[in-house]
Amino acid sequence: MDLINLSAEPIDRLHLWIPHDQEAERIVFTGCLPEQIAFIDRDGRAVVPEQLAKVCRNRPDKFDEEFDRVVRWAAESSAAIHEAIHQVLAISILF
């Protein structure tokens, strides 16, 4: 299992929040709330734990809002990483 910590929490604490019966190839933490944890199966599909499913059913607007925020954050982070790599490679090519 691949654990990706994008939250401010220490990695050892995150292990305590993983449901014992949860099967996932990759788990992504963007925070400590249930709706901030993504479980990804081997085929790249999101596996929704029951507690997250409850949040989605009870507050679909909150889920959509958080999902949109995470998608924006991922796009911005990816662009920033690509730009940083481009700058490093461009400088190293000059020397």
In three-state secondary structure terms, 30 is: coil
Task: Give the residue numbers spanning the domain of 31.
Answer: 2-94
Predicted model pTM: 0.47
**Domain total in the chain:** 1
In three-state secondary structure terms, 28 is: strand
Q: Which residues contact 61 (CB under 8 A, 6 or more apart)?
A: none
pLDDT, greater one: 31 or 76: 76
Per-position DSSP letters for 41-78, written without gaps between them: -TTS-EE--HHHHHHHHH-HHHHHHHHHHHHHHHHHHH
What pLDDT is stored for residue 80 in this prediction? 81
Give the single-character DSSP code of 38: E
Distance between CA atoms of residues 73 and 78, nearest Å: 8
pLDDT digits (tens, 9 = 90+) for 37-89: 778 778 877 776 665 566 566 666 676 777 777 778 878 877 888 888 888 77
What pLDDT is stored for residue 4 in this prediction? 83
